[in-house]
Amino acid sequence: GQQLNQSPQSMFIQEGEDVSMNCTSSSIFNTWLWYKQDPGEGPVLLIALYKAGELTSNGRLTAQFGITRKDSFLNISASIPSDVGIYFCAGRDVDDKIIFGKGTRLHILP
């Protein structure tokens, strides 16, 4: 089946640093999605990417849909404490199913 490899698994950074995480897939997706999940809550959509090569920003967040349609990255600039959480990449397949990566846990050191 389709699999998404998300890295890194966790990150420990200082407040104010930039963050980068990425996802690669064994197959092509038509849509790449990035979600953030806070403890005990459902995922919240951060950025959606619909075209290969597309680069989209949402405030301090920037994500790109890889040209091969098998990868995507998410960057967070100038991290702040509320950025702490789990970030999931996800791809939507032709059946509209969303396949999730394993997540990147972001920790911000005081």
Write out the residues near another protein by the rule CB under 8 A: 31, 35, 40-45, 48, 50, 88, 95-103
**Looking at beta carbons only, is 31 or 75 nearer to another protein?**
31
Q: Least distance to another protein from the beta carbon of 76, Å?
A: 20
Cα distance between residue 25 and residue 11, in whole Å: 21
Cα distance between residue 71 and residue 76, in whole Å: 17
Residue 22 near residue 73, CB atoms below 8 Å: yes
**Looking at beta carbons only, is 48 or 52 nearer to another protein?**
48
**Looking at beta carbons only, is 37 or 62 nearer to another protein?**
37
Structure tokens at 77: 């600039």
